[in-house]
Amino acid sequence: MESHNRFNLPERIEGLSQLSYNLWWSWHPDAREVFKVLDRSMWKSYGHNPVKLLKDIPYYRLVARAGDASYLSLYDKTIADFKTSIAPGNTWFERTHPECADQLIAYFSLEFAVHFSLPLYAGGLGVLAGDYCKEASDLGLPLVGVGLMYPQGYFHQYISQDGWQSEVYDQVDFDEVAVSRVCTPDGKPLMVSVPLDNVSIHVAAWVLNLGRVKLYLLDTNLDANPMSYRNLSARLYGGDREIRLLQELVIGIGGVRVLRALGLNPTVWHANEGHTTFMLMERIREMVQNGMALEEAISKVQETSVFTTHTPVPAGNDTFAPELIDKYFHNYWSQLKMDRDQFLKMGTIGGHDEAFNMTVLGLKLAGFRNGVSKLHGQVCRKMWHGLWPDVEEDNVPIESITNGVHERTWIAPQYQLLFRQYMGNDWMKHQDDPDMWQNMLLIPDESLWGMHRWLKSKLINSVLYRARRRWVRDRVAPIQPLAMGALLDNDALTIGFCRRFTGYKRASLILRDAARLKRILNRNLEPVQIVFAGKAHPSDEDGKKLIQQIYNLAKDPDFGGRIAFIEDYDLHLARDIVCGVDVWLNTPRSLMEASGTSGQKASANGALNLSVLDGWWFEGYNGQNGWAVEERGGGDPDTIDNQTAKSIYDLLEEQIIPLYYDRDAEGLPRGWIKMMKETMRSNSPLFNTSRMAKEYTERFYLKAIHSQHK
């Protein structure tokens, strides 16, 4: 299935082939280096994609490397590391729970953000799922991921001179990304079918290796399918409700069937967000078809399933009109030994003609349910009280496990070197230990600040690279590179605001009082600059108007060239920005941010959060590691927004700017550095995927496993 030398490589370095097809390399700096030094300029222009690089690099260059002793020592060390890292044996899971070594956990998600070459995500949900799978590999959790292979994925964002977003979809070339077709033993593509209305749709799969973890990506673009279904999974969030329903049928029902066809029989099934909860129903169908009584099948599925909801408001849930459900499920419910009413009830609270709600389906069919921060857990218990009317709100059975980030991915490699020095070579293995992080205090101020300044210049260089590339390649108007950050200043206090442009995140809150903001940005000796980035959903006009508003200010000389809007926010840009800014701004409307993870990434790199006390920051803020934006005022949203903006300006003028520019004789902002250390010390041990995956394991997965071996 996985051939080992796909490229024409000299034998001495042929291990590069297997390494390039396992994204393990992407979260290990030495392994990145092994590819990068083959040809730095190709590495950059090919978007850090080793598969593409190995395909095109001239053979003589490889031969030269294969005879270069220093390259070979890096190569040998990396390949040895890689082999140990993917071999079974000494992982946290195997050491702690040896009795569960032969179990399997299936993790379903409509988005996975794993690398810039694979556009399988739109935002935080996908980043979380990608980070989680990488962590599962690091900890040795026996997990497989199930998602969709979107050949066009999510769009690339271009901003026109007048600030309007346009969307460009690239077609993924499967020969140039690290996925392989899943085949049956006789070499034919593995295929399963999913019933639709009166026909069936065929589903095939690609596999992507993330260390030990395999991610199966389902695909409907097959000759065996009618034209109208081939493009079903072409794009993420690209179609209408009917297309979405079909995508969810493919991942939910097709996903279970693909795992079965591969001979995989997970004990635990985890649905990440409501999109994937048809998976729970399909498993009931299997059991009922095997002769089990419906009630028993439902409780079996409940005992072995985890459902994580990420939605903080009822309107945000994924729902389908009953007519659509009728259209696609009228042949299916009899296989569950249900009638139409019973079937519809699984996805509704009880109202008449209510839409079929995928979150409700998850809450009803999974016995382990959670929100993604403590505050969000409370919000969920309140929102879904109607499903458990007989218990007190506090006892509604929805728990919370707070999201985290994969620190190996998100902490700048330069900081990782510092951490090794002060916290030990295997600091990564103890990243969830608060005691270890006390050692932050041992890092000399000069070292931390020097590193931070260097990362900031790296960010600015990367912004300039993007601006220059647009200028040269597309002959854009000269004002555009300026709006894209060509005037950014390495010495100015730099604020980052980067995330999806959607109403509740209030990207323009900080622009509310333009005159006051102008004064703040243009302070003569204490300038401030703001870096914005983020995409609006293609059909979200309001989101696009927000981007336009910001872009127009970025072009306005009155703002001193101190506002920049960087196009095409993605994993790569996100990493540069969270590692390089001084302050991370987040201003969601209260109780609307389920968790948020970008602020965790920033904190892990020493950026100070300036954020509404919502989502994870409600838990993370301790009074000394950043700032809490007060949601002031009451009544209408406009007044609240004005007052909240005012509290941001006050904080900037009274605390943040003075602290940043308060330098000692050596030019160091000692008070600021102290806060950087404090944010890393207090937040890094908590808001990482290691703590998070261990919580899912200990609070949910192990209980589910043990329930089956009573």
- Where does this chain bind ligand PLP (CB under 6 A)? 123-124, 127, 499, 569-571, 574, 596-598, 601
Which C-beta is closer to ligand PLP: that of 598 or that of 625?
A: 598
Q: How far is the CB of 132 from ligand PLP (least distance, A)?
A: 13
**Could you give the angle at the alpha carbon of 576 between the alpha carbons of 570 and 579, nearest 5°?**
130
CB of 306 to ligand PLP, least distance (A): 22
Q: Nearest 5 degrees, angle CA 125-CA 191-CA 334? A: 80
CB closer to ligand PLP, 202 vs 601: 601
DSSP per-residue codes, 162-183: TS-EEEEPPPP-GGGSSEEE-B
In angstroms, give the least distance from the CB of 575 to ligand PLP. 7
Three-class DSSP category at 674: helix
Nearer to ligand PLP (CB atom), residue 51 or residue 507: 507
Q: Which two tokens stand for residue 362?
A: 């998850």
Which residue number, 244 or 535, has a Cβ lying nearer to ligand PLP? Answer: 535
Residue 39 CA to residue 325 CA, distance in Å, equals 53
Least Å from the CB of residue 593 to ligand PLP: 7
Residue 203, strand partner residues: 192
CA 450 to chain centre: 29
Please state, as a whole number, how many other Cβ atoms lie within 10 Å of the Cβ of residue 598: 25
Q: From the CB of 404, what's the least distance to ligand PLP, in Å?
A: 11
Least spacing, CB of residue 106 vs ligand PLP, in Å = 24
Minimal distance, residue 128 CB to ligand PLP, in Å: 8
Q: Would you say 122 or 443 has its CB closer to ligand PLP?
A: 122
Classified as helix, coil or strand, 480 is helix
User: Phi and psi dihedrals of 202, rounded to 5?
Assistant: -90, 140
The three-point CA angle 29-34-38 to 5° equals: 135
Nearest C-alpha neighbor of 547 from the set 562, 564, 561, 559: 564
- CB 118 to ligand PLP: min, Å: 13
Closest CA to 31 of 104, 80, 87: 80
Question: Among residues 15 and 124, whose Cβ is nearest to ligand PLP?
Answer: 124
- Residue 435 tokens, joined: 């005691």
CB of 82 to ligand PLP, least distance (A): 25
Nearer to ligand PLP, 245 or 463 (CB): 463
For residues 38 and 127, which CB has a smaller minimum distance to ligand PLP in the complex?
Answer: 127
Query: Which residues have C-beta within 8 Å of that of residue 539, sequence separation ≥ 6?
Result: none
Least separation in angstroms between residue 16's CB and ligand PLP is 28
Least distance CB 290 / ligand PLP (angstroms): 41
Nearer Cβ to ligand PLP, position 543 or 596?
A: 596
Question: In angstroms, what is the minimal distance from the CB of 180 to ligand PLP?
Answer: 25
* Contact yes or no for 332/249 (Cβ under 8 A): no
Minimum CB distance to ligand PLP smaller for 433 or for 619: 619
Nearer to ligand PLP, 318 or 570 (CB): 570
Task: Decide whether 78 or 431 has the Cβ nearer to ligand PLP.
Answer: 431
Sign of CA dihedral 568, 574, 575, 579: positive
Residue 565, Ramachandran bin (φ over 0: left; ψ between -120 and 50: alpha; else beta): beta
Distance from C-alpha of 364 to C-alpha of 345, rounded to nearest angstrom: 10
In whole angstroms, the minimum distance from the beta carbon of 152 to ligand PLP comes to 18
Q: Left (φ > 0), alpha (ψ -120 to 50) or beta: where does 689 sit?
A: alpha
Residue 206 or 617 having the CB closest to ligand PLP: 617
Positive or negative: CA dihedral 551, 553, 556, 561: negative
SS (H, E, C) 7-41: CCCCHHHCHHHHHHCEHHHHHCHHHHHHHHCCCHH
Q: Based on CB atoms, which residue is closest to ligand PLP, 135 or 282? A: 135
- Cβ of residue 116: shortest distance to ligand PLP, in angstroms? 9
Q: What is the DSSP string of 80-131?
A: HHHHHHHSSSS-HHHHH-GGGTT--EEEE-S-----TTS---SSHHHHHHHH
Nearer to ligand PLP by Cβ, of 127 and 460: the residue is 127
Amino acid at 350: G
| CA atoms 683, 687, 688, 691: torsion sign | positive
To ligand PLP, the closest distance from the beta carbon of 702 in angstroms equals: 29
Tell me the two tokens of residue 561.
């060239």
Burial pattern 457-488, b for ≥16 Cβ within 10 A else e, equals eebbebbbebbeebbeeeebeeebbbbbbbbb
